[in-house]
């Protein structure tokens, strides 16, 4: 485990292009000496991943390495990761090498329904994540910077398998979508009611006409000639 002083890309001497490229990612810059030390080990696999730990609370975040070009003694990272770790510019953090397993399953939840309405959102997500978030931790929230349309989408990492931290590079990943946070159930449409009864006014009118018919002789109850059974 190594101890380095942390700064965000904004407060570093990193080129502006690098700052824009890595602002919405979990990639960091480490000094060249870290690469030399890693190469001396026999248990290392590439690409490299490191856990950045706040020594005060022992809380950490696993990140990928973009380059080993930082000034010796420094680690440069996106500011949002510093916020999650609860650290400020110039804070000392601990760094350790980790090798998470390849992911087999990932369930995500977009904050906006608009993301699911993109053309082929699954392909968009897989492409951007493999480039900007090659390692994922269950429970975190990432920002997908979709530069093609100039929009950003916040995505919750709901579930990962086979572990809480997985790498997604060259992984056969089963991707699943949860219901977006802003999704609202459409109102239920009530079926039209069928009127199966005769209105009171129509019923009254019919009764009046029937009474009038009876009173005018048009109808005589039991009228006609009767016969006795068996008679001729």
Q: How many domains does the chain have?
A: 2
Whether residue 81 contacts residue 141, with contact meaning beta carbons closer than 8 Å, is answered with: no
Q: Which domain, by its residues, includes 17?
A: 2-98
Residue 72 lies in a domain: yes
Do 80 and 121 sit in the same domain of this protein? no
Residue 219 lies in a domain: no
pLDDT, tens digit, 9 for 90 and up, residues 68-127: 999 999 999 999 999 999 999 999 999 999 999 999 999 999 999 999 999 999 999 999
Do 170 and 85 sit in the same domain of this protein? no
CATH number for position 153: 3.10.330.10
Burial of 123 (0-12, 13-18, 19+ CB in 10 A): exposed
User: What percent of the chain clears pLDDT 90, i.e. is strictly above it?
Assistant: 66
Sheet bearing 174-177, strands edge to edge = 141-146, 151-161, 105-110, 174-177
CATH number for position 58: 2.40.40.50
pLDDT at 71: 95
């Amino acid at each position: 485990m190594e101890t380095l002083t942390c700064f965000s890309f904004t407060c570093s001497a990193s080129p502006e292009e690098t700052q824009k490229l890595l602002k919405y990612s979990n990639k960091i810059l480490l000094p060249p000496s870290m690469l030399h030390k890693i190469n001396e080990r026999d248990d290392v696999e590439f690409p490299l991943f490191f856990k950045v730990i706040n020594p005060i609370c022992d809380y950490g975040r696993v990140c990928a390495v973009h380059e080993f070009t930082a000034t010796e003694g420094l680690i440069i990272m996106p500011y949002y990761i510093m916020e999650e770790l609860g650290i400020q510019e110039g804070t000392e953090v601990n760094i350790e090498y980790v090798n998470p397993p390849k992911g087999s399953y990932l369930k995500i939840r977009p904050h906006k329904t608009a993301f699911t309405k993109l053309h082929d959102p699954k392909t968009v997500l897989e492409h951007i994540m493999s480039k900007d978030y090659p390692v994922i931790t269950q429970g975190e929230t990432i920002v997908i910077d979709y530069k093609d349309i100039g929009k950003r989408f916040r995505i919750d990492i709901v579930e990962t398998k086979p572990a809480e931290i997985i790498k997604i590079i060259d992984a056969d990943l089963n991707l699943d979508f949860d219901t977006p946070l802003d999704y609202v159930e459409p109102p239920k449409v009530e079926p039209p009611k069928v009127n199966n009864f005769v209105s009171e006014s129509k019923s009254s009118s019919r009764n009046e006409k029937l009474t009038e018919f009876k009173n005018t002789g048009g109808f005589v109850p039991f009228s006609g000639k009767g016969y006795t059974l068996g008679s001729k």
